[in-house]
Amino acid sequence: MNAPYWILSSEGESYEPLTEDLSTDYLIIGGGLVGITTLYLLTKAGLKASLIDATRIGYGTSGRNTGKATAQHGYIYSRIEKNYGFEKAKQYYTINAKAMQFIEDVSKEYGIDSQFKKLPAYLFTQDEDYVDKLKKEFDLYQRMGIDSSFEKEIPVPLRVRCALKMNNQAQFHPKRFLDALAKQAVKQGGKIYEKTRVVDFQPGKECIISIENGKKIAAKKVIIASHYPCYDGKGFYFARLKPERSYIVGVELDSFPEAHMINIEQPAISLRYIPEEKVLMVSGEAHKVGHQDEDHYQKLKDLAKDIFNTDAVKYQWSAQDYISHDYVPYVGVINDDLKNVFVATGFRKWGLTNSIASAMVISNLIMDNGSEYEDLFTHLRVKDFLSFNFLKENADVAVQLLGGKLQMGKPDLPEEKETGVKVNINGKRCGYYRDDEDNIHIVDTTCTHMGCEVKWNSQEKSWDCPCHGSRFNYTGHVLEGPAELHLNSYKEPKNTINPQIS
Ligand code: FES
């Protein structure tokens, strides 16, 4: 059941893996919305570009979200104004509004059945402590000229203190959109290779990228669109991004107002209806990866039952997001010494417009040698480093790194099936899992990114790293980076650690 509606309802094309060495002007790593949109924009301009994806295009967070296309990203504008000034806040709105327009225009131009629909977005609170924040954000909306209103109610049976309504926002089918855009990019001469995982990255005038099957790619410019950068390039992204998981349940519901909504406080309540399917998506329960192992789906099902009196669950899935410490994405060159490597990451949970905005910015940097949004998204901003969030998250990484090494595994192998347990075998701490057919899988639990100890995630039957969010299935295969190398089994040598920093 843990498959997203978006992926189930858009099969898309399959693309062959790369089986020989490749030389290209532009290489895009990652086939989510950033990567595919960049491929589309570069090839539309007649440039020679190729894209590789470790699994399948659109199967990461681009196919596992709520399908909201909006420039209302929590109370982001007050935050940006406080750190970087009014003009930067306005720029953030402008580029996200342009991204929304891009989705609408491209859907029309190629006749994509992307379920694109315009509707208002609501940001509400049920907590008196947040009323002033919403008032402040509304004041900023007005100064920025955003079509919006301050409301006392929202059109669902939830008692709220107040809400901010942003008009002319949208929703769409992200995977159908991505699949169609990929097809168009290929028509324009772009190349896509799926099941092509990067295992090593050597920067240079010409970057050399090694893939799992031993083949090499030489590229003059590389766009790292792998969600969490698969290569750090001394940009210290590992210290600047917090990995979070969140959950979505889709419940049957006959009707719902034409709007989507989210609250400002925690725990988050996000609501988005799929009229074509008569399903309401209820999402939230976000937590740092590897930090909570609870039945998050059940909590969302209880919430749906409480508010809408429905318990007919049709879908459930989870997603991973990365959050910068000042809540603004990083888009542009990976660092100033590597002007031919670009990165886009840290979209918080607002990646649908932010990813398209990133693709626009990167394409402009490549084709026009600059972008008016370069400073807004630069990795050179210091407010993220000088923040409480930066200190808090990096202190936590240190605790996880050291604390994990002190843990002892259980001395006996458990009988239970389909549960991951840390065990001690001949003095070696291992991750043990017995599958439903009694096959036993034992892996080295040292994360191959920077060596933290992975933890069991019972909801998704995976080993998750609490430091930077890498995830591995119970056989040790990478599900989410930054780790590029799989966890070795008990019989193999110790895991190889490859942080891919320099
Ligand atoms: Fe960085 Fe595991 S993800 S150590």
Per-residue pLDDT of 34-76, as tens digits, reads 999 999 999 999 999 999 999 999 999 999 999 999 999 999 9
Domain containing residue 458: CATH number: 2.102.10.10
Average pLDDT (26-33) is 98
My answer on whether 476 and 335 are in the same domain is no
**Residue 192 within any structural domain of the chain:** yes
Closest C-alpha to 447, from 417, 416, 421, 470: 470
Ligand 1: atom nearest CA of 401 is 4
Short-list 453, 459, 461, 460, CA closest to 422: 453
The contacts of residue 94 (CB under 8 Å, 6+ apart) are none
DSSP annotation string for 359-426: HHHHHHHHHSS--TTHHHH-TT-STTTTSHHHHHHHHHHHHHHHHHHHPPPBSS----SS-EEEEEET
Q: What is the pLDDT of residue 386?
A: 63
C-alpha 317 to ligand 1 mean position (Å): 23
Nearest CA to ligand 1 atom 4: 450
pLDDT at residue 294 in the model: 83
Q: How far is the CA of 499 from the centre of ligand 1 (A)?
A: 8
Residue 228 covered by a domain: yes
For residue 98, the CA-to-ligand 1 centroid distance in Å is 35
473 found inside a domain: yes
C-alpha 179 – ligand 1 centre gap (Å): 31
In a domain, 278, yes or no: no
Tokens of 379: 């990795």
Q: Which of 230, 399, 468, 484 to mutate to test the pocket of ligand 1 (most atoms within 8 A of CB)?
A: 468
Identify whether residues 381 and 412 lie together within a single domain.
no
Distance 461 CA to ligand 1 centre (A): 18
User: Each residue of 145-170: pLDDT tens digit?
Assistant: 999 999 999 999 999 999 999 999 99
Ligand 1 center–CA 465 separation, angstroms:
6
> For residue 99, is it within any domain?
no
Could you identify the atom of ligand 1 that is nearest to the CA of residue 483?
3
Tell me the whole-structure pTM to 2 decimals. Answer: 0.93
Ligand 1 centroid to residue 187 C-alpha, Å: 38
Structural domains counted in the chain? 2
3-state SS, residue 139: helix
Give percent of the chain with pLDDT exceeding 90.
74
**Same domain for 367 and 476?**
no
432 in any annotated domain: yes
Query: Domain for residue 105, yes or no?
Result: no
pLDDT tens digits, residue range 458-485? Answer: 888 999 999 999 999 999 999 988 898 8
Higher pLDDT: 338 or 405? It is 338
Structural domain boundaries enclosing 455 = 408-480
pLDDT of residue 398: 63
- 416 shares its domain with 457: yes
Q: Domain holding 206: CATH number?
A: 3.50.50.60
Q: Which residues line ligand 1 (CB under 6 A)?
A: 447, 449-452, 465, 467-470, 482-483
In a domain, 60, yes or no: yes
Mutational pocket test of ligand 1: of 232, 242, 447, the residue with most ligand atoms within 8 Å of the beta carbon: 447
Question: Closest ligand 1 atom, CA of 465?
Answer: 2
* Percent of the chain predicted with pLDDT > 70: 93
